[in-house]
Every structure is written in C-alpha cells, then in structure tokens.
C-alpha cells in the first residue's frame, strides 16, 4: 500500500462532502451541516494517518446555483488542487443516495465532462447509505435497482460511465463502529489503487489548468461563433426586411400604375362615349336637315 494518498472530494452542496471527509479521517476536522445551505466556504486540507497511510483529504466548496457560471465552479476546483501541491491520487464525487439530481447540477456536469482527464481519477461515493437499507447487500441492491429504473436521471448514468462504474456506498453520519470504517477504508484504498494503476500519475493543478484553458478557449470559440451567427442572422433579417420593403414598394407602384391605367381607360372610354354622343347628335341633326329640305322641295313643286 502507498505510504501517502491525496484525495479530493467534490460534489453538490448538501451531499455530505465534509461529513464524508470527517468519516474517512475519523475526526471532526471539516465543518459540516444539514440542508442545502453551503457550510464549506473554501477548500481545506487535512492529513491523518489511517491504516498506516498518511491520508490527505481536501474538502471543497460544493457545486450550487450560488456559485453562478460554470467557470466559478471550475475555479473552486482549481483552488482546491492548488492546496495540494503534489497533486491528488483520486477524486471522490459525493452523491447523497437519498437525493435527486437537479437540472442545474446536470448542466454543470455536462460542461465539466469536457475536462475529460479529471474523471479518469474519479469515483463516486454514495453517502447516507443507510437510507437505502440496513445492510450493505440491501444498499447495493437498492442502488442497482435505482440505476436500472427507467426514470433514473441520464446525467447520473453518464457520470458513472465517466468514472468507469467505480463507486462505493458509505454511511458516514452515524457511528457505525471500527469494523465498518475499516471495511469502507479497504474499499476506498482499493478504488485509489485501481485509479493509480490506470493513470500516469497524480492529477495536478497544472493538468487541470491546461484542461481548463482548453475548455475556456473552446467556449470562447463557441461564443465568437454564436456572435457571428447572430450577426449573420441580423444581416439576413435586415435583408429580409429590405426585400419586404422593396416588394411592398413595387406592389404599391404596381397598384398605382394599375389605378392610373384604369383611370386612363375610363377617360378614353368617356371620350369615346362623348364622341359617339356627338356623332349621334350630328347624325340626328343631319337627318332632320335632310328631312326639312325634302319637305321644302315638295312645297315648291
């Protein structure tokens, strides 16, 4: 077994990170409390000798809506990694087994998955395991049933896939006795050993910074692309409006021309009618004149 191990605990506010840290170290070294109000306000590191191992636990600020944008969550992890200069051997993602995944934390995790190398060092600890059953077999059966349930959040399944299905169940609030602690520490050390065999070395702040920088660059590209798309959309919308205006102007011009043509046709028709009327009058006058002359001619004879 390793002579020293560094473990970082992350998770949602109120999911028992600090309580889990206290359980692992068997001392009340991290401030903890009930509810979803954050108790831990900054990363804190504590080291104790457990089963002959110098075990260092770094407790972190929990993920919550209060932290705002994802960059703030990642800054907290970056700060926590900076607390342990030699890097960390494993990351524990604490999940309260009796709580549901929220939409907000699912969104945060979806973004965090882009920093892929962090999850190679990670495993899940389902806390408050007694809420699943009194014995470990009952707890395991319940968690497996929950994961197989059709309504199990896809974000939770994705998280377990990211950590290669590595998880343990821990009841860390109550005094479960020395044997329980020894059993759980054996499971925890085995998880850490498996991770160390599959990774090139401790996960450092530098590794996270590199991944974080790539993430921010990718997000900046997305932001610029979105701005360009919005600008293109704005230009297209302006062009659409201009085309509509031109079409409306052309239609108004067409209608004016049509009205003008109709007016001219009506004027021509009026003139023709007037001409026909005059011609008719002239013809009538001519007939009358001719009739009068015939009458005069008959009188003379």
Side-chain-side CA neighbours of 29 within 13 Å: the count stands at 18
Each residue's pLDDT, cut to its tens digit, for the chain (301 residues) gives 568 899 999 888 888 888 999 999 998 888 865 544 445 557 888 999 998 889 999 988 877 656 555 667 777 788 888 888 788 999 999 988 877 776 667 777 777 787 777 889 999 999 988 888 888 899 889 988 888 888 888 888 888 998 999 999 999 776 677 889 999 999 999 999 999 998 988 888 888 888 888 888 888 898 999 999 999 999 999 999 999 999 999 999 999 999 999 999 999 999 999 999 888 888 888 888 777 766 666 655 5
Q: Coil, strand or helix: which one is 41?
A: coil
Q: What is the pLDDT of residue 298?
A: 62
CA–CA separation, 111 and 295 (whole Å): 115
Nearest one of 83, 26, 128, 9 to 18, comparing CA atoms: 9
């Amino acid at each position: 077994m390793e002579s020293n191990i560094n473990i970082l605990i992350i998770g949602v506010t109120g999911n028992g990170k600090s309580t889990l840290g206290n359980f692992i170290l068997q001392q009340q070294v991290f401030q903890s409390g009930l509810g979803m109000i954050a108790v831990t306000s900054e990363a804190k590191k504590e080291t104790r000798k457990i089963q002959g191992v110098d075990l260092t636990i770094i407790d972190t600020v929990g993920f919550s809506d209060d932290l705002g944008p994802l960059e703030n969550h990642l800054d907290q992890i970056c700060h926590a990694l900076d607390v342990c200069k030699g890097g960390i051997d494993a990351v524990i993602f604490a999940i309260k087994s009796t709580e549901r995944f929220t939409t907000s934390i699912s969104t945060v995790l979806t973004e965090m998955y882009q920093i892929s190398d962090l999850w190679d060092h990670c495993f899940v600890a389902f806390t408050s395991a007694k809420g699943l059953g009194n014995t470990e077999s009952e707890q395991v059966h319940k968690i497996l049933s929950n994961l197989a349930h059709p309504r199990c959040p896809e974000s939770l399944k994705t998280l377990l896939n990211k950590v290669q299905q590595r998880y343990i169940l821990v009841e860390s609030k109550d005094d479960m006795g020395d044997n329980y602690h020894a059993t759980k520490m054996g499971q925890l050390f085995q998880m850490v050993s498996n991770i160390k065999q599959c990774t090139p070395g401790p996960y450092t702040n530098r590794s996270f910074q590199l991944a974080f920088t790539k993430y921010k660059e990718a997000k900046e590209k997305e932001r610029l692309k979105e701005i360009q798309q919005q600008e293109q959309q704005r230009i297209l919308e302006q062009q659409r409006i201009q085309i509509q205006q031109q079409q409306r102007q052309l239609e108004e011009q067409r209608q004016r021309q049509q009205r003008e043509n109709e007016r001219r046709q009506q004027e021509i028709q009026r003139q023709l009618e007037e001409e026909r009327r005059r011609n008719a009058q002239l013809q009538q006058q001519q007939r009358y004149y001719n009739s009068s002359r015939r009458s005069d001619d008959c009188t003379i004879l």
